[in-house]
Each structure stands twice: as structure tokens, then as C-alpha cells.
Structure 1
């Protein structure tokens, strides 16, 4: 609308410049009078000269005023084009910004000095704060140990308990794993995947801060001093279901999909209510980010799928194989690889496979902690799922979504499944 005023004002100025000439011409006396009356002619000429001066002055004032008005409108138009349109661009919804706002109450617990990660909303925590929170990395605070460093329990200034992974990044491999985990977890929010809260660095050391999982790892629960005593049958099925849900999110719902590549019981962490969450994404691969056939073989013996171990072929079915091994650990209470002699080891898959498919032998190899604690039909069903997951041929293994759907009916409603315990008790009595 403002730009349409410019032609109108220019036209008005031309009309005003033209009108005084017309008035002046009309004000002149008839030619016959001027010729017959010299006195009158002089008087009229003086009158016309005076009128001309007044008109010139008026015209100058009006023209100046119009120029000022036009210039003012022009400046306002230029200003509005440059500045007033900016809020409209800023008002366009930004999904990443919305994520940042959603995380703000959670991340505000930390002293953020800069933001890192692909999405730019992960706090970089001051190293001195990390050092203080771990009591200068006191040995008694160690929760676990991995290939590149230790995980410590820590308490931040606001009494928030967290876990801190300390990585020694002297090699490029360790540095890449750190960056890979930070970038992936900074983008993921899922109830069955560990939450990353921040990171830090000091010289060649890198630190990742996670939520604290108070019941430690599934490996520690199953194979530690308690030997699985805290894990009932239904609790084990819940852990399996939670793990499957985390994997399903990575394989089916995240775009692009992620292959964890190092799923194992030590990377399944348990919170105070035994909710299971996947952790340690240093080796994870974003599907399509690189040629999976050229990826360096990595993983943990006993969990690595045979096609990946022998031929380097990596797919989401490799994670399904590792899940099957974890399911066997939950079912049998045995480690994935057991040493029979100094020179000979045996995998849980090799040992259990002949007995898993024999209903008469299966109850005898179940973990003694949960033996006779479940409906036999449920036991057979879980064993069948595990057998399918660890098939040597990847195409014979189910998708993790199918595994999840098989486990949901075996988990009680209050633990996240659809099983009603009263029906199970009634069925057991009838059988």
C-alpha cells in the first residue's frame, strides 16, 4: 500500500507545478485593452509581477513540503522492507529449536559454557565440575570399566547423581567413538535408551555425562555376586521387552535407522525400577552413512553375528542375533561365552541350541533362580523366540518388531505388557 502512494504524490506535484502557469495566463488582460491603455498596462504588469512572485514562493514551499513527505515515505518503505519483515521469518517453527526448549528444564541443572552435538543443545560441562563431582575420579566411585576408560558415579553441585564415562582418546578410534556417541545420543530421546546430559574435555581425555542407572548393568545383575537373585521371571521378561523396544526405535522409527553393533548385557542398564535402557553407542552405525561392507569388525565375542564375524556383512539382523544371546542369558543365567579349559571356550548358543528345542530338556537348563516360576507355555515361547533370533542365516531371523510383539503378552500389565496375572494363576491351576 505504501509503494502505491509514490505515483500519486508525483502526479500531485506535476499538477501543482502546472496550475500556476494556467492561472497566470488567465489573469492577463485582453490584448486590446493593453494596447489602448498604457497606464493600465504598467499597473497590470506590476500586479502580475507581484502575483508571480507570490506564486513562486508558494510553489517553492509546497514543493519542499512534498519532497520532504515523499522522502519520508521512501525511507519508511526501505526500513520496513529491511527490518519489519524479520519477525515473520523468525516465527517459522523450528523443530530443532522446539527440542531445545523441551530439554531446557532438564539441562538447566548444568553450567553450560557452550553447546555441542549436531543439533546444538548438549551442554559442555566445565572439567573442574566433573573433577569435583567424581571426587577427583576416586576409585571407589567406579561403576564399570570399558575398552577406553571407566564409568564413575558422580554428584553435581545441585545434588544430582549422574554417571560419568571417562575416555582416553589418544587414538583416532577412541576419538571417533566419542564423537559418534555424543552426536547420536544428543539427537535421541526414548524411554529405553540412555539419556546423555552433557560432555566435557581435558587435554586428550573426553567425558560423557549420563543419567545414573541405579541398578547397574544387566550383566552385573545376572553374573555378579547376586547371580540374578533380584530378577524374577516377569522382571526378566520386562527387561527383554524394554530392550526390544529400544532396538525397535533404532531400527524402525528413527530415520535414518541405527544399527547398535555392540548390544550385550553390559550395555543394557537398569534404573531403580529395573527399567532397561540401551547404552554405549560408540560403535553404532547410521544406516546409509557409509558402506557397511567396509566397516572394521567390532563387537564382543559371543554376541557378534556369524555373517558379520566371518564375512563382514552388517545389517539390523546382526542386532537381532545379539538380542537373542541376551535373551538366552536371561533364560539360562549363563554367560555368552564360557571357558571350558585354557584353550577351549564354548558359546551359550552352541551349548543351548540342542536343548532349547527339546521340551523335555528345556526346563532343566533354565536358571535355577527362576526355575518352576513361570508357565511352561511361556517358557517354550521365549525359547522359540531366542532360537529364531540366533539362527545362523540372517534371513531366518525375525525383525525386532516381531520379537517385541511376541514378548508383550508375556509381560504383566503393571510392567508394560498385556499379561493379566490372575489369568496365568488360573491357567496354572487348571493345567
Structure 2
């Protein structure tokens, strides 16, 4: 039992739902991590927008260690202090009146979609259950959430899909207008599509969706699992657009690396969920909630939020320099520290090749589809780490040209 695990163990013992890189990361500090051979990597991936405060942040570590000496789990038969503190903080910081705590973006979105349907059922009758989503969206991996998501490659092959789900064209208000009617219970949208290519919504699109939902007594759901919790430079992206949803889902960065998620809504909508209607065994777990409260408290500060814009500028400047030299990007887009660089020319369709080459240069990267390099680093990444990482990215690109 004391044998050191190897990458081969993944292929031997794990169900192959992933194809991880060869390196096994064993420790991290800030925006640097080290593998089993003590090779150092710059982290531009942030655990897929999860490690908003980097690795081993002292305030998160202290929160975890302190809570670990108290109580780890009590189930939803009881409540606990960290969960109550976190819920109150989220209410105080947002439009919401009520919070449902869970473990993942999938769970948060599953709860949101169920809540929307239950609310409509109770208020308007059983025929009002339609959900309008958008192509290339991503809302989770449960069968319900993956069906609401707008990428059939994730939902096909599992039998009949849940009824009443339609997909419009992102940023095309007329496409949405054609689908939304009095049988629609909810419209769900990512203010910045993440997996779908790092595409920000336009102001007119989100404002139009809000108006259409109001006209048809439908709820507007913002999926801010990836773009929320400081990543755009505001605590949540809806604040930048000044468009307030009825339900908001939050995960990833909200736990700073500890599995945690939340669904936020108003008191009126929340009334549709009564005891026994929905739940999560680990939801509001004291360890997760304690770390989450520390993470939210750190992120929701002017120092962190205002620093996102400067770091975003540095990333864009480096990407522009690379593009001027190698002419490889057709577009650099996104918001704050959720950025996408769309590849063209010799690298078009080769995003995963770039990611692999970057790993060879000791840089951790993400992609969004076959053509887009995705950047979702720590919100407090040091400028020196950005510079070093971009030097490594340039070396990786040169090996492919």
C-alpha cells in the first residue's frame, strides 16, 4: 500500500472518463505547482477556474485546519455555523434572499432547473415546464443538466432526453424570442460561455432575455459557475451587466479549491422548495462551508476584484505580442481572467496540441473546443508568473510552427 502511484495507475484502475496529462501534481503554492519529479509548472488553468486564490492560500488553509478540529459533517438533518455564515455572506453580497448549498456546478444547476419547474408548476400549472438554453452552452454532467447544455456530444447516446428543452443561438435575441412562450418556465444562460469558446454575452442580449422572461412569466437563470465569484472583475458577472437574474448558480471559485457550490434566488422563488422536495447529503458540509466563507471573504475585497482588470490587461498584452510575432490568433476575447484566444492558420484546430506542448514547457493550460486556448488563472496571480508562463507558451507555440 506504500507504493508511489504512477500515471499508469490511472489507465489501470480508473474509469476512463478523462485523459489526464502524464505529470502527477503533488503540491502547489500560489500560481506554481510541482510534480512527482519536482518539476515546477506555472498554472494558467486554475483547476478550470476553481483555484481563484491560487494554491495553498494561507487564509483558506487556516479555515480548513480550524474547522477540521471541530466537526466535519453533520448531514442536512442538522445545520451548522459555517454554512449559515456562508449563506448570509452570499445574501449580503448579491441580489439573493435565499441560498442552497451543494458540491458542484452540476448540482447547483440541477437544483436551479428543478426549482424553476417546480415554481412554474405551483404558480401556473403543469404545462409550463419549457426550458430555453443556448447552443454551445455547458451546464453540468447529470442527465438533466447535460441535456439543457447546448452541446450534443455530451448528451447523445444515453437514451431519450428530458422533454421541454430547446436551444437558441447565443447572443441572438431573435432566436431566443422565437423559442420563449407562455409554456417556458425558465431561460438559462452563461453571461460568459466557458466551455463553448469563452464568449461574453452582449448587453442587449441579456437585457432582452430579462424582458422576454418578464413578459412570459419565466425565470431568468444565470449560470455563473465558471464566470462568477470575481473572475470578471465583479463578484458576479450580472453586476457588470446590471441585469439581475431570478436564480444564479455558483461553484468552482466559490470554494477556492474545496468542492462547493451554491444556488442563489429570491424569497418568492425559493418558496417552491419545501422540506423534502430537494436535497444534498453533503450540501453545506462544515469543512466546505468554512473554506468557502474564507474564499468569498477574500475575493469580495476591492484589492482582489480591482486587481483582476490589471492582470487581464497583462494577459492580453502578452497574447497580442505573440499574435503580432506569429499571427496565430483570429480573436482574443473574454472578460477579466476568463480569456480565450482563438487559433487560426497553422494552429487552427490544434488547441489540444498547444496544450500538450505547453505542458512539455511546464505550463498548465486549458482549451475550449478545438480552436480556443482558455486562460482561467488565479485572480491574484503574480505578474512575474504571467510573464514566465507566457514565455513558456511562446516556446510551446514555436515547437508547433
TM-score using structure 1 length: 0.22
Which of the pair is proportionally richer in helix?
A: 1
**Greater relative CO, 1 or 2 (CA 8 Å, sep 6+):** 2
Using the size of structure 2 for normalisation, the TM-score is: 0.23
